[in-house]
Chains A and B, each alone.
Chain A
Amino acid sequence: MDVKLWGTRGSIPSPGPETIRYGGNTSCVGVTLSDGSLLALDAGTGIRNLGLALAAEPARLHILLTHLHLDHIQGLVFFAPAFRAQTEIVIWGPASPEASLRDRIGRYISAPLSPVEVRELPCDVSFRHCPETEWEIGPARIRAASVTHRGPTLGYRIDDGDHSSLAYIPDHEPALGADLATLDEDWISGFELARGASMLIHDGQYSDAEYPEHVGWGHSSLTHALTFARRAEADRTVLFHHDPLHSDDLLDLHAAESRRCWTNLGGVEGAVELAVEGAEYELPSRVPGASHAAATA
């Protein structure tokens, strides 16, 4: 499985010289499965560059939305493949008792917020609520589970046929009202998605000092994210969904702090990093039961 980070920022795009290294585009991760199938995890503004990088040829791709906050869907109307008649796009997302996935996304892809309507998209687009049980895309088994955030929100687990696995939980506050260090694993939001993954991409929006001012906003502090990751025993953890107010220089400090925290938690050196827009990873195939191997960047 190959993974590329097309957008690493949370909340709102944050372009500019202060964010050029870690990136200013909002959440989007491209995943290429072992058979070449393409997935996009979330459709923040980062999906625009993903679309531009795809060859203009007939394609079928899946977009897996964690939730419908704007920083996770804003790029949909700027996704070039959506404007090609030969492209088939399947959009997966959380169900809601209020309205269908299509209708909820349609509130954004409609006037006055958008110049086009869903029905006007030239591509063959369909919308599917994620099932409770796992399903298959190409050689991969996909699992979605509700996680602690504001509004219906999913995390995803992708187990490729080559035994590499990715957990993607970009907006997540598992420590809300819970002690992650002592709580039984089955009571920790998102834990089964992350358990033993080759790579965990996880919310790490706030510093520990910032978190107390943002309790209940649906995001994690560095220590909470790393405690979650340590207990889940993912091979590699990428802290994601950077706060729009965090400059590159500040994120460098967060990266150093996260390494210290990880070491204090007993983690393996080099297994934690901050997400950088444009970073690419090849997740290693892993024979079940074999010792863990780190992904290569």
Chain B
Amino acid sequence: MTQRPLELILARNLMSALSTPAFLVDEGGVLVFYNEAAGALLGKRYEELGTVGPEEWGSLFGPFDDGGEPIPYDELPLVVAVRNGRPAHADFEIRSADGARHTVEVSAFPILTAHGSQGAIAVFWPSAAKNGSGH
């Protein structure tokens, strides 16, 4: 088993302590962790799901645009962050395990180290625009 980079370990440790839903992918875009708050949003704990490849995790939970169409994988903030090394933000709907849909805002940012990109973090909020309330 390969040791995770320290930056990913620390990111996971921080995310574990947050009440904000957060997702972590490695440098290959593999979903390697999400926290309890994200598990509550998705209706499934990370421990039940385990690591998920980059082409799979998008289809598991959506996401969908305003018209209900799946958003292309390449346009997801986490994918933009990990591939381009740039922060990204978007509003969209996700589908939880019980079929319910949630409108969320997502901000993703890359984890850059002296050895290059090690992955990315995405943080989810209930959408202010859709819900008509700020944070």
- Which residue numbers of A lie inside 8 Å of B, CB to CB? 95-97, 132, 145-148, 176-178, 184-189, 191-192
Find chain B residues with CB under 8 A from A145 CB: 3, 6
What's the nearest-Cβ distance from chain A to residue B72, in Å?
Answer: 31
- Which residue numbers of B lie inside 8 Å of A, CB to CB? 1-7, 9-10, 12-14, 16-17, 114-115
B3, B4, B7, B10 interface centre (most CB from chain A within 10 Å): B3
Given the complex of chains A and B, what is the CA–CA distance between A184 and B114 in angstroms? Answer: 25
| 25 cross-chain CB contacts under 8 A | A95-B114, A97-B114, A132-B115, A145-B3, A145-B6, A146-B6, A148-B9, A176-B10, A177-B10, A177-B13, A177-B14, A177-B16, A177-B17, A178-B12, A178-B13, A178-B16, A185-B1, A186-B1, A186-B2, A186-B3, A186-B4, A187-B4, A187-B9, A187-B12, A192-B2
Inter-chain contact B1/A176, CB cutoff 8 Å: no
Write the chain B residue with the least CB distance to A146.
B6
Write the chain A residue with the least CB distance to B1.
A186
Given the complex of chains A and B, what is the CA–CA distance between A95 and B113 in angstroms? Answer: 11
What's the nearest-Cβ distance from chain A to residue B49, in Å?
Answer: 14
Is the contact region of chain A dominated by helix, strand, or loop, or is it mixed? loop
Find chain B residues with CB under 8 A from A148 CB: 6, 9-10
Given the complex of chains A and B, what is the CA–CA distance between A96 and B113 in angstroms? Answer: 10
Given the complex of chains A and B, what is the CA–CA distance between A96 and B115 in angstroms? Answer: 11
What's the nearest-Cβ distance from chain A to residue B4, in Å?
Answer: 5
Within the complex, which residue of B4, B6, B114, B115 is in contact with A147, where a contact is CB–CB below 8 Å?
B6
Write the chain A residue with the least CB distance to B115.
A132
Within the complex, which residue of A96, A177, A185, A189 is in contact with B6, where a contact is CB–CB below 8 Å?
A189
Find chain B residues with CB under 8 A from A191 CB: 3
What's the nearest-Cβ distance from chain B to residue A62, in Å?
Answer: 22
Given the complex of chains A and B, what is the CA–CA distance between A189 and B13 in angstroms? Answer: 11
Find chain A residues with CB under 8 A from B4 CB: 186-187
What's the nearest-Cβ distance from chain A to residue B68, in Å?
Answer: 37
Find chain A residues with CB under 8 A from B14 CB: 177
What's the nearest-Cβ distance from chain B to residue A103, in Å?
Answer: 16
Given the complex of chains A and B, what is the CA–CA distance between A188 and B12 in angstroms? Answer: 11
Given the complex of chains A and B, what is the CA–CA distance between A101 and B23 in angstroms? Answer: 34
Write the chain B residue with the least CB distance to A178.
B13
Find chain A residues with CB under 8 A from B2 CB: 186, 192
